[in-house]
Amino acid sequence: MELFKHIQKEIKKHPFDYLLFITIGVFFVLALSIFQGERLLEFIILLSFVTFYIIWGIYHHIIENTIHLKVVLEYVLIGFTLLFLLKIFILP
């Protein structure tokens, strides 16, 4: 329950940030479905989304004034783990 309260609080505090993230996420899924089977384009789209995720996370923490090297490394590691897992299991 604490997690949901925290998420609601964050969304109310930064609605533009999360609207942007969700919008880009929807376009990411649509782009993957449109270019299904085009391996190079799928990889470029996936890499673009991961790059956006990392930049978005850094921007979000700069706005909150909570940016640290540890946070940046976390976004980079999560982003590239996502890239690796999606490339291996979803886009073979």
- pLDDT per position as a tens digit, 1-33: 798 898 899 899 999 999 999 999 999 999 999
How is the chain split into domains, by residue range? Answer: 2-90
pLDDT of residue 86: 87
- Which residue in the block uniquely carries the two structure tokens 């929807």? 26
Structure tokens of 63?
Answer: 């706005």
**Residues 6 or more apart in contact with residue 92 via CB below 8 angstroms:** none
Q: What is the pTM of this model?
A: 0.88
- pLDDT per position as a tens digit, 33-62: 999 989 999 999 999 999 999 999 999 999
State how far the alpha carbon of 77 is from the alpha carbons of 10, 70, 83, 84, in Å. 22, 10, 10, 10
